[in-house]
């Protein structure tokens, strides 16, 4: 065993996320892998610091809730005072019941924190499910604000106000820490990120990926398509973490998601100040065991560069971005374009 390898074993990767102590900053992001017991078990064996379960979608719980109201109101004068149980309308388990059961099972089987995920666009009665997730043992909730604003009559300010109301509602209801997973598509993301924290978010997850549909020219039809990310996709969350980290209170956690594929990707994310990285594509493409070799790559890189802990590496570049934000802003744009070399000409 080389001396570097020996040192690599001793690197301390522990971190804290949303106030939870984690053994590693490598977290399994919401994906089909975290939605089944075998995937969860293998991720745990591969040493991930935490797992995020696939999302419970607002549309699903709202539909179930609508069915529940219809069922309880049909021909009766029942007033359901107990708001905190899931309706079972079909004789089988409803979508929210199933989610709750999966969460409870994950909690009994895993030692590392289990984060439940809500995917939503609007505030409303359904957000009481956030409380049930907290009560069922979720260590935290990730609220994914996935919204495609295609209506020309809806103003950015109104959409943002509604989303902030949702964040506050989920935080109030859940009783556990809440991270908000944002898209990069806000007019003034720095302002909105601060407002999300002001509304009660304990952390931000930068950024969710919007899945772009493709066109099937033969059938002249729209094809829904999920494509996996590449390391190049990490540039956007990397830049915004570097810019936002120095502006947010140190108690606010940042998770980076999109484009993390290698140990050096994780090192870059730590350097700009993230608390955790959240991976889906790399683990879906190569299996849950990839989390373990990724951790080794990170350890090797850190040992080689004489970082003894994630804490030491964390934020070593975000301080620089506070002093020299132009490295991440427009001033660098012109220089970067001019530096492009026309290869082979
Ligand atoms: C097949 C698939 C399913 C996903 N399901 C969810 C989900 O239910 N909720 C969510 O917030 N993100 C979901 N994501 C997004 C991932 O959690 C992750 O944030 C995103 O893929 C970027 O990370 P990556 O570049 O490592 O893939 C999903 C991604 C993939 C590829």
**Backbone dihedral angles phi then psi of residue 178, each to the nearest 5 degrees:** -125, 125
Q: Is the CB of 143 under 6 A from ligand 1?
A: no
Instruction: Report the alpha-carbon distance of residue 114 to residue 43 in Å, rounded.
Output: 12
Instruction: Name which residue leads in pLDDT, 74 or 156.
Output: 156
Using only C-alpha atoms, the chain has a radius of gyration, in whole angstroms, of 22
- 231 secondary structure, DSSP code: G
Q: How confident is the model at residue 128, as a pLDDT? A: 85
Which residue did the predictor score with more confidence, 338 or 196?
A: 196
Q: 183-215 pLDDT, tens per residue? A: 999 999 999 999 999 999 999 999 998 778 889
Cis peptide before 266 (omega within 30 of 0): no
User: Best of 178, 209, 236 to mutate for ligand 1, by most ligand atoms within 8 A of CB?
Assistant: 209
Residue 81: per-residue pLDDT: 41
Q: Is there an atom of ligand 1 within 6 Å of 112 CB?
A: no
Q: Measuring CA to CA, how many Å separate 115 from each of 6, 52, 99, 107, 142?
A: 33, 5, 12, 10, 7
Mean pLDDT of the chain: 88
| Closest ligand 1 atom to Cα of 208 | 19
What whole-number percentage of the chain has pLDDT above 90?
70
Atom 18 of ligand 1, nearest CA residue? 280
Q: Is 318 in the pocket of ligand 1 (CB under 6 A)?
A: no
Q: Above 70 in pLDDT, residue 87?
A: no
Where does the pLDDT of residue 127 fall: very low under 50, low under 70, confident under 90, or very high at 90 and above? confident
Whether 79 shows a pLDDT value over 60: the answer reads: no
pLDDT above 70 covers a percentage of the chain that reads 85
143: left (phi over 0), alpha (psi -120 to 50) or beta: beta
Q: How many CB atoms lie within 10 A of CB 312?
A: 14
Q: Are 152 and 189 in contact (CB under 8 A)?
A: no
> Which of residues 327 and 89 earns the better pLDDT score?
327
DSSP 126-156: GGGHHHHHHHTT-SEEEEEE------TTS-H
Least confident residue range of 126-130, 301-305, 335-339 = 335-339
Q: Is 291 in the pocket of ligand 1 (CB under 6 A)?
A: no
Distance CA 111, CA 24 (A): 13
Name the band, by pLDDT with cuts 50, 70 and 90, for residue 104: very high
Span 58-62, mean pLDDT?
Answer: 83
Q: Which residues contact 306 (CB under 8 A, 6 or more apart)?
A: none
Mutate which of 25, 27, 29, 225 to test ligand 1's pocket (most atoms within 8 Å of Cβ)? 29
Task: Give the residue with greater pLDDT, 92 vs 212.
Answer: 212
Q: Please, what is the angle between helix 3-10 and helix 290-304, to 10°?
A: 110
Q: What pLDDT is attached to residue 1?
A: 46
Contacts of 35 (CB under 8 A, 6+ apart): 53, 54, 102
Higher pLDDT, 3 or 47: 47
343 or 130, which is more confident: 130
DSSP for 167-216? Answer: HHHHHHHH-S-EEEEE-S--TTHHHHHHHHHHTT-SEEEE-PPPPPPEEE
Q: Look at residue 80 in the predicted model and tell me its pLDDT.
A: 42
């Amino acid at each position: 065993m080389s001396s570097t390898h020996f040192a690599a074993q001793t690197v301390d990767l522990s971190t804290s996320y949303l106030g939870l102590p984690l053994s590693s900053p490598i977290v399994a992001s919401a994906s089909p892998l975290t939605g089944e017991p075998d995937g969860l078990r293998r991720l745990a064996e591969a040493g991930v610091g935490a797992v995020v379960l696939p999302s419970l979608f607002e549309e699903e719980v709202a539909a179930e809730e609508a069915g529940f109201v219809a069922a309880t109101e049909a021909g009766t004068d029942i007033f359901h005072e107990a708001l905190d149980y899931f309706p079972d309308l079909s004789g089988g388990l409803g979508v929210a019941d199933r989610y709750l059961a999966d969460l409870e099972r994950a909690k009994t089987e895993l030692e590392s924190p289990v984060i439940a995920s809500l995917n939503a666009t609007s505030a409303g009665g359904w957000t009481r499910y956030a409380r049930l997730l907290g009560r069922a043992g979720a260590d935290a909730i990730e609220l994914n604000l996935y919204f495609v604003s295609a209506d020309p009559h809806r103003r950015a300010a109104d959409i943002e106000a509604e989303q902030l109301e949702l964040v506050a509602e989920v935080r109030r209801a859940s009783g556990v820490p809440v991270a908000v997973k944002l898209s990069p598509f806000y007019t003034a993301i720095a302002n909105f990120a601060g407002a999300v924290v002001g509304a009660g978010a304990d952390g931000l997850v930068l950024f969710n990926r919007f899945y772009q549909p493709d066109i099937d020219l033969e059938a002249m039809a729209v094809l829904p398509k999920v494509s996996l990310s590449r390391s190049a996709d990490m540039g956007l969350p990397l830049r915004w973490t570097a810019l936002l980290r120095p502006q947010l209170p140190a108690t606010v956690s940042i998770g980076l998601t999109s484009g993390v594929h290698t140990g050096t990707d994780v090192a870059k994310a730590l350097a700009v100040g993230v608390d955790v990285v959240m991976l889906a594509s790399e683990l879906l493409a190569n299996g849950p065991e990839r989390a373990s070799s990724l951790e080794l790559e990170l350890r090797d890189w850190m040992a080689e560069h004489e970082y003894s802990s994630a804490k030491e590496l964390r934020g070593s570049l975000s301080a620089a971005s506070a002093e020299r934000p132009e490295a991440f802003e427009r001033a660098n744009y012109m220089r970067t374009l001019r530096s492009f070399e026309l290869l082979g000409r």
